[in-house]
Structure 1
Amino acid sequence: MLIMQNATSGTSVGKALISARGISKAFGKVEVLHGVSLDVHAGQVVCVIGPSGSGKTTLLRCMALLESPSKGEVVFNDTVIADAAGSRAASQAARAIRPEIGLVFQHFNLWPHMTVLGNVIEAPMRVRGLPRAEATTKAMALLEKVGMADKADRYPARLSGGQQQRVAIARALAMNPSVIMFDEATSALDPELRQEVLQVMRQLAQEGMTMLVVTHEMGFARSVGDRLVFMDQGRIVEDTDPESFFTAPSSDRAVRFLRQIQD
């Protein structure tokens, strides 16, 4: 297998774990993505940033199998899991691969009628077939990891936004995913609660979790990301290491973006 050097982290990486290959996406007559290609390798933290409306979330949703591409394909470990034709082979592969992709959304999306513990054990039991006792033991360990074990019997409505998001992360981890995708996971939180969630995300990165992170948190992207992808108008403008982007961006558009966020 071809091995290449990761210029960002200095570690060797092989083939991509998950890739977008020439993805375009249109909603009606509005084309949101224009032939975007992106590789995410195992163990990498890839942060996607850019102005509102640049296509960041649409790209993530296509790679997470929540949207079907209008052109191009999504590939997981050399297997096509989504294509523009909606082929039977890709659809079958997607059903098998979907549990490998963890998702954390902006607005938590916890089931309000279930306790914290119920939220975390539901998918492992239904999808992975874990016995309740095993799923519960694993869930409590994950809730301990994110600092929520003492809230296991509470319902989401009795939790703060930061607490709900930490439960959402534990729920995603409970499926043993190969990659977790975060869609602006802190943007609905106030600054103090953001730090609770970002700390959990930093810990996952330190443990080697593969992460695709759409974010407005520039500090996180710069200090935690292995790669930084800057998007504008449905295209990737820069794909580089964070320090290079923030100190010496190669495009005029990135220079203007950085100037705006600094102001």
Structure 2
Amino acid sequence: MAAAPTIVTEPIIVAEEVTKRFGTHQVLTRVTLPVMERDVVCVVGPSGSGKTTLLRCLALLEAPSEGRIVMQGTIIATPELDRRTKAAQRAVRSDIGMVFQHFNLWPHMSVLENLIEAPLRVKRLPRDQAIAAAEALLAKVDLSDKRDAYPARLSGGQQQRVAIARALAMSPKVLLFDEATSALDPELRREVLMVMRQLAKEGMTMLVVTHEMGFARHVGTRTVFMDRGEIVEHAPGARFFDAPQTERARRFLQQFED
């Protein structure tokens, strides 16, 4: 009997041997991290370990000092951008959504206007189509009644749910979360985590920098532990928490024990 064909799956996005320096300060050291379709990769670690910088490199907000970022086989970031790589970045920017710690909503725009701005300007969607899509997303994050409100009139949890909807409005292939709940109190954190859990259930590809260990254990497909700019451990979500392999990871997890 002939052997079954091998199915090779390509990462949606991958950091390959990425090093990042700011002047003489090295923040990342030869980090390699692939994110596959439908993955929910949770990146955990102490403050200053390079988690946010890694995310910003993947989001094309920072250029790597060494190494490269590749999206579905196309190089989209290197230390020195040539014309081809710049063109590749323009082609994929809308495929990479990012949700920031402090929401970053446009304060002079209503909730609806925040959601339709990029689809209108970047994707050139007809206005009625952009509005219909935005209203569907607001229903998804349970904020239909805030359609015409301005960010200053929303709670932190509501603002973050709007930020998630705004990122989804561009129909990204991967969604990056940078400590999306860390600025919120416990009740508001639950609101945002419920939305993130639902996105994971629906198969959204996600890379989540987080201190929410429950989310990482129960929702994440993989957990990446970083320290001092390097990936120290990398394991399926629950396995990392049940049997960390390094003393550094064990010490990190102890601070979350009851």
Partner SS for 1:31: strand
Give me the whole-angstrom Cα distance separating, in 2, the residues matched to 1:184 and 1:147.
21
Aligned twin of 2:89: 94
1:103 aligns with 2:107: no
Partner SS for 2:255: helix
Give me the whole-angstrom Cα distance separating, in 2, the residues matched to 1:175 and 1:111.
16
Give me the whole-angstrom Cα distance separating, in 2, the residues matched to 1:213 and 1:247.
20
1:138 aligns with 2:133: yes
1:151 aligns with 2:146: yes
Give me the whole-angstrom Cα distance separating, in 2, the residues matched to 1:87 and 1:63.
18
1:260 aligns with 2:232: no
Matched to 2:7, the amino acid is I
Partner SS for 1:86: coil
Q: Which one of the candidate residues 233, 236, 242 is aligned to 1:241?
A: 236
1:160 aligns with 2:155: yes
Give me the whole-angstrom Cα distance separating, in 2, the residues matched to 1:99 and 1:45.
19
Partner SS for 1:193: helix
User: What is the Cα deviation at residue 211 of structure 1?
Assistant: 0.2
Give me the whole-angstrom Cα distance separating, in 2, the residues matched to 1:66 and 1:261.
31
User: What is the Cα deviation at residue 243 of structure 1?
Assistant: 1.3
Matches within 5 A, 1:1-263: 2-3=6-7, 14-262=9-257
RMSD value, Cα:
1.0
User: What is the Cα deviation at residue 2 of structure 1?
Assistant: 5.0
Could you list the per-position Cα deviations for residues 29-84 of structure 1 after superposition, in whole angstroms to 9, with x for gaps in the alignment?
A: 00000000000001110000000000000000000100000000000000000001
Give me the whole-angstrom Cα distance separating, in 2, the residues matched to 1:111 and 1:80.
31
Give me the whole-angstrom Cα distance separating, in 1, the residues matched to 2:233 and 2:92.
29
Give me the whole-angstrom Cα distance separating, in 1, the residues matched to 2:36 and 2:81.
25
Matched to 2:61, the amino acid is L
Give me the whole-angstrom Cα distance separating, in 1, the residues matched to 2:85 and 2:238.
37
Could you list the per-position Cα deviations for residues 202-236 of structure 1 after superposition, in whole angstroms to 9, with x for gaps in the alignment?
A: 00000000000000000000010000000000000
Give me the whole-angstrom Cα distance separating, in 2, the residues matched to 1:203 and 1:243.
19
Aligned residue pair count: 254
Give me the whole-angstrom Cα distance separating, in 1, the residues matched to 2:106 and 2:27.
30
Gaps of 5+ in 1: 5-13
Cα contact 1:104–1:183 (8 A) shared by 2: yes
Give me the whole-angstrom Cα distance separating, in 2, the residues matched to 1:85 and 1:130.
33
Compute the TM-score of the two structures, normalised by the length of structure 2. Answer: 0.97
Matched to 2:201, the amino acid is Q
Give me the whole-angstrom Cα distance separating, in 1, the residues matched to 2:255 and 2:189.
22
Matched to 1:48, the amino acid is V
Give me the whole-angstrom Cα distance separating, in 2, the residues matched to 1:3 and 1:166.
37
Give me the whole-angstrom Cα distance separating, in 2, the residues matched to 1:259 and 1:138.
44
| Distance verdict in 2 for CA 1:2–1:105, change over 3 Å | farther
Matched to 2:41, the amino acid is V
User: What is the Cα deviation at residue 3 of structure 1?
Assistant: 2.9
Gaps of 5+ in 2: none
Give me the whole-angstrom Cα distance separating, in 1, the residues matched to 2:57 and 2:208.
14
